[in-house]
Structure 1
Amino acid sequence: MEDTITMGVGVGEAEKKRGGWISFPFIIGSTAGTSIGSAGILGNLIVYLTREFNVKSINAAQLNNVANGTSALFPIVAAIFADSFFGSFTVAFISSSLSFLGTVLITLTAIIHWLKPDPCNNSGSKLCMPPSKFQYAVLYGGIALCAIGFGGSRFTTATLGANQFKETKHQDTFFNWFFFTWYTASVVSITGVFYVQDNVSWASGFGIATVGNLIGLVVFLLGYPFYRPHNPQGSAFVDLARVLVASIRKWKSQLSFAPKDYYNEDVLVQPAAIPGERLRFFNRAALITDGDLQLDGSIEKRWRLCTVQQVEDFKSVIGILPLWSSSIFLSTPIAVQGSMTVLQALVMDRQIGPHFKFPAGSIMVIPLISTSIFLFFLDRVVWPAWSKLNNGKSPNILQRIGVGHVFNVLSMVVSAIVESKRLKMVHSNPTKAMSILWLLPQLALVGMGEAFHFPAQVAFYYQQLPQSLRSTSTAMISMIIGISFYLSTALINQVRWSTHWLPDDINNGSVDNLYWMLVVVGGINLLYYLVCSTLYKPSKV
């Protein structure tokens, strides 16, 4: 008996040591290693395919789009498995293991000569030997594992980290440091690993990315004794579907104002309640009608009756969709700007000093650096100062996202002005190119905007969606990125088809008009966001 009591006390003490900031180093260390591996493999994929696999540039770009799109969209799939079946830790571990296997395969293609075609001096031409089916299979297998693994682990790890904290302010701080680590590690990879790949060997560069992924996986596992467990609560998406179906089936039923007329599962634990007034149509899903309950009080037909909490969870998801849609049109201009900026960099003067020429593809490291610096500045300077001036209150999440929208529009304005100036210089003196340094202000503004809206969006979804959708909530921002990635491609294709702004040689085009169009789109989306955020009522789930 005494041993049992001692054991119970020991377990209780062990549980107290789980979660909180003691788990923080392991989550952040894992994020750093995975980010180095992700950027080191997928970030320079187009160059590797064209130089080492003799893939034509357009085909390489398409494969790159598929890989990055999959990496951005797969987190929502991983989140569903985490929330419904396996939990955040298990899904993050499996995903990290898959990404490690993928990095190993990609590295082997760079080391073993018969896993890639013979080298060709004119890569992508008809004279070059294309990869064999077996070589393609190994390559595609490695890319698929990397895309799925990196996509599945990143935001599931973020959810696991946020689950370690009970207070909102600590969750906000965690998300700031999570994204600071993600961006900083990506900067290290894009600069250091890319340099090794271009100047030493692809095998060495991919090897560094693989080791980074392995270290991240090991650190993640070492933290297991310190993680607070988060058990899955069944398929939340099935519950959401049940609310919709039950509401439609009872659309003729008259709503009641008596708590006894609504189904509450845990009436012995908490008082019976009625659904809120918002979106009242769906309250019918919890309304008890004839034949809904068995004699023992349990549900007779689960697709005709839901709990009050399930109805409120469904409403929280519906209520958040307008704000979520505004984020899609926030990210799409950023994605368009990213591709256009690289094209601009290719025709600008990239010489920095007498001995260094800035790689065009590495120009996108600027917003990563800007975001990393500004995240640190916000967390250590701006928010503490704001809190002192406002009696300990911090700016709410929706305000921070709104500021991010403003920075995004300003960035597009600066982009349009700079490109207009560049085109005038090209047309007046074709032999002289504008310095690539002119692109820095617009990219710095993008990074500053992301420091405001990116972590705030993840924290917003995490805090406002039901607990059963915790992993899904953090993956929603990745889903936004994936959708925006594909929308930006569609938008550029549409502009090329309907205007003359984007010829093959952008010196003969009007990319500044595209930027001004994005200013208009961003401005309209900002107004839309302001309306949605004003009307939004925070959920209490």
Structure 2
Amino acid sequence: MGEGNREEEPQTSNKHGGWITFPFIIGSFACMTLATGGWLANLIVYLIKEYNISSIDATLIFNIVNGCLSVFPVVGAVLADSFFGSFFIIVISTSISLLAILSLTLTATIHSLRPQPCDHNNTSITCSSSPSKLQYTILYSSIILASCLGSGGSRFTTATLGANQYDTTKHQNIFFNWFFVTLYAGYVASSTAIVYIQDNVSWGWGFGICLAANVVSLAIFLLENRFYRLDKPKGSPFTSLARVLVATARKRLARVQVGSDEGCYYYGDQDHRVGMPVVDRIMLTKSFRCLNRAALITQEDVHLDGTIAKPWRLCKVQEVEDFKTLLKILPLWSTGIFLSIPIAIQGSLTVLQALTMDRHLGSNFKIPAGSFSVIIFISTTISLTLVDRFLYPIWQKLIGRMSRPLECIGLGHVLNFISMVMSALVESKRLKIAHAHLLQGQVEAIVPISALWLFPQLVLVGMGVAFHFPGQVGLYYQEFPASLCSTATAMISLVIAIAYYLSSSLIDLLHKVTKWLPNDINQGRLDNVYWMISVIGVINFGYYLVCARCYKYQNVEDGGKNVNDSITQH
């Protein structure tokens, strides 16, 4: 959230901030991640088995919930920056999450809050026992509160509060390293241990552990609150972006012409009129020239002391150029949406595939369907380590420079495409066995093929994420102005959110228009879905190559920000 360039900020008090706060912030975040991952990882299975919701509808709900988890961190960050501060947002969000998970736990333990169970051993039988309006209301209210206002509101603000406890970039980098290690470790633990308890012990115990983790998270966070260095709201960067648009529109309506004299523009309180050298000023560029009106000084726009008299009619040149930076990088940002859609679709449909496959390891252990996503987390973690320790140093020796963000994103595109092709091939094999199984008169839902066939495609997804996700973070953080570091992080979150929403729409469209995605996927053509998104991936990769070729780095040539540090910080 723009924490990376704070080494020059003085420490407000020797008794506040520093490493004494580290175990409490990280410990609280670890428990909160465990609580969120515990109810989210197995949500599709819970909706199907306990609420008799169709598999496709459960998938759509899962994708929408994941979208909320990516949208509301941005909302929480804006509220923290602009009005309340990080500490207050974290406390409120964690408390709301606590109430929501308590409600989910009640749905799993009180029989009257769930519909009558159906026979899920035979997917060809349609279940007529649907949840009542009251049961739907309690279920959806719990999920919305847990995902949107709960964990979604505190994810980014915890990172911001943690970084604010340190005075140097070095210490902030160490904190962010542990932040991401904690994030992945929490999801691995929740996607394995808690999901196993939900599948093999009871849903009540599984959600109860999530509830206990949330209680511990809130208690740890509040335990040493007197030592936290609290950040004061400084206003959101989105406000300045909106001001540029409004000021441009107002002056265009007033028929104000764009001037060619640099002295006509507002550079800030200390511009050339008070002796500021021209060489040190941010100059207006010719790109998107119509936006230059926002910085053009007209009558009564500036006070005698050089300050802005009408903030929504006049902006600084720096603010205008910051807005142009967003517009220049927008095409590259849009390619990230279509890169994430296949991952969102695969993450949810893999659960449906696993439910129909043999998930036994040995004679006694059965892998929970909701735990398959942990393969992506493990693959990403291992790949990140190998890339950082081995691939990047070798790359630097061979080429003579470090890899650049656009190159890493491109590799991510390629790996993502290969994973989709492999998904299509594996599903084709699964369907052939399923159809042969049905021809023999067998009606069981489980197809005699090992679910381990799903592992390679998930490993490839994790490898792709290890390239394109840090690449995108590095690109935005490196290229965005320092004043828009928060926006750089928000751009990543918005990509993920939009991808989940679009994937939900695509699945719903295919379900209604084609016969590829029936509720019983053994009767459908899920392989065609994977082939289709593979083709979309190829088209998107071509679009990405065009955007990448046209884009010119603004900071990489002059050594602006360290890309690796930037990735670590986010």
Give 1:60-71 correspondences, 5 Å limit: 63-71=61-69
Once the two structures are superposed, the pairs formed by residues 363-374 of structure 1 within 5 Å of their partners are 363-374=372-383
Q: Does 1:265 align with 2:269?
A: yes
Alignment coverage as a number of residue pairs: 527
In the other structure, the counterpart of 1:405 is 413
Describe the shift of the 1:359–1:201 C-alpha distance in structure 2 as closer, same or farther (beyond 3 A).
closer
- The residue identity in structure 1 corresponding to 2:525 is S
In the TM superposition, what whole-angstrom CA distance separates every residue of 1:134-184 from its partner, at most 9, and x where no partner exists? x65554443332112111111222344455678878777765553343222
Q: TM-score, normalised by structure 2?
A: 0.80
Find the aligned partners of 1:173 and 1:208 in 2 and give their Cα distance. 30
**Using a 3 Å threshold, how does the CA distance of structure 1 residues 354 and 342 change in structure 2: closer, same or farther?**
same
Query: Cα gap change, 1:127/1:484 in structure 2, threshold over 3 Å: closer, same or farther?
Result: closer
Matches within 5 A, 1:52-451: 52=50, 63-111=61-109, 113=110, 116-117=113-114, 120=117, 125-126=127-128, 130=131, 133=134, 138-147=138-147, 148-161=149-162, 177-221=178-222, 229-251=230-252, 252-259=256-263, 261-267=265-271, 271=277, 273=281, 274-383=283-392, 394-426=402-434, 433-451=448-466
Structure 1 residues 54-63 or 477-486, which shifts more? 54-63
1:532–1:389 Cα change, 3 Å: same
What CA distance in whole angstroms lies between the structure 2 residues aligned with 1:429 and 1:120? 27
Partner residue in 2 for 1:538 = 554
AA in 2 matched with 1:211: A
User: Please, which moves more after superposition, 119-128 or 253-262?
Assistant: 119-128
Q: Is contact 2:476-2:488 (8 Å) kept?
A: yes
Preserved CA contact (<8 Å) 2:241 2:319 = yes
Which residue of structure 1 lines up, in the alignment, with residue 566 of structure 2? none
Q: Kindly provide the amino acid, as one letter, of the partner of residue 73 in structure 2.
A: P
1:256 partner letter: S
| Aligned partners of 1:53 and 1:116 also within 8 Å | no
Q: Aligned in 2, Cα 1:258/1:468: closer, same or farther, shift over 3 Å?
A: closer
Q: Is the 8 A contact 2:195 2:370 kept in 1?
A: no
Residue type of the alignment partner of 2:554: P
The alignment partner of 1:250 has SS state of helix
Q: Quick one: structure 1 residues 260 and 410, their matched pair in 2 at CA, closer, same or farther if it must change by over 3 Å?
A: same
* CA distance 1:175–1:498, shift in 2 (3 Å): farther
Deviates more, 1:55-64 or 1:376-385: 55-64
Contact 1:371 1:451 survives alignment (8 Å): yes
1:344 positional shift: 2.5
| Partner deviation per Cα, 1:174-198 (whole Å, 9 max, x = no partner) | 6555334322211211211112222
- Please state how far the C-alpha of 1:209 moved relative to its aligned partner: 1.0
Q: Within 2, Cα distance between the matches of 1:264 and 1:31?
A: 40
Task: Name the counterpart of 1:5.
Answer: none
Matched, 1:453 2:468: yes
Question: Which residue is equivalent to 1:485?
Answer: 500
Unaligned runs of 5+ in 2: 1-8, 121-125, 441-446, 562-570
CA distance in 1, matches of 2:51, 2:534: 39
CA distance in 2, matches of 1:257, 1:220: 55
The question of whether the paired residues in 2 share the 8 Å contact of 1:242 and 1:306 is answered with yes
Q: Given that residues 40 and 205 in structure 1 are in contact (C-alpha distance below 8 angstroms), is that contact kept between their aligned partners in structure 2?
A: yes
* 1:452-486 CA distance string (max 9 Å, x none): 22244345444544555544432332322221112
Point out the more displaced range, 407-416 or 473-482: 473-482
Partner SS state of residue 349, structure 2 = helix
TM-score normalized with structure 1 length: 0.83
Q: Distance in 1 between matches of 2:111 and 2:355?
A: 33
Between 68-77 and 143-152, report the one with greater CA deviation. Answer: 68-77
For the residue of structure 2 that corresponds to 1:305, the secondary structure is coil
Is contact 1:346–1:360 with CA below 8 Å preserved after alignment?
yes
| Structure of higher RCO (CA pairs closer than 8 Å, 6+ residues apart) | 2
How much is the aligned-residue C-alpha RMSD, in angstroms? Answer: 3.7
Unmatched runs of 5 consecutive residues or more in structure 1: 1-10
Instruction: Give the conservation status (yes or no) of the 8 Å contact 1:418–1:438.
Output: yes
Q: Is the 8 Å Cα contact of residues 184 and 377 (structure 2) preserved in structure 1?
A: yes
> Is this contact kept in 1: 2:21–2:227, CA < 8 A?
yes
Q: What amino acid is the match of 2:385? A: F
SS in 2 for 1:433: strand
Percent of aligned positions with the same letter in both sequences? 52
- In 1, the alpha carbon distance for the partners of 2:37 and 2:239 equals 35
**Structure 1 422/55 Cα, relative in aligned 2: closer, same or farther at 3 Å?**
closer
CA distance in 2 between counterparts of 1:427 and 1:122 reads: 22
Give the corresponding residue for 1:8. none
SS of residue paired to 2:298: coil
How far apart, in 1, do the equivalents of 2:470 and 2:263 lie?
39
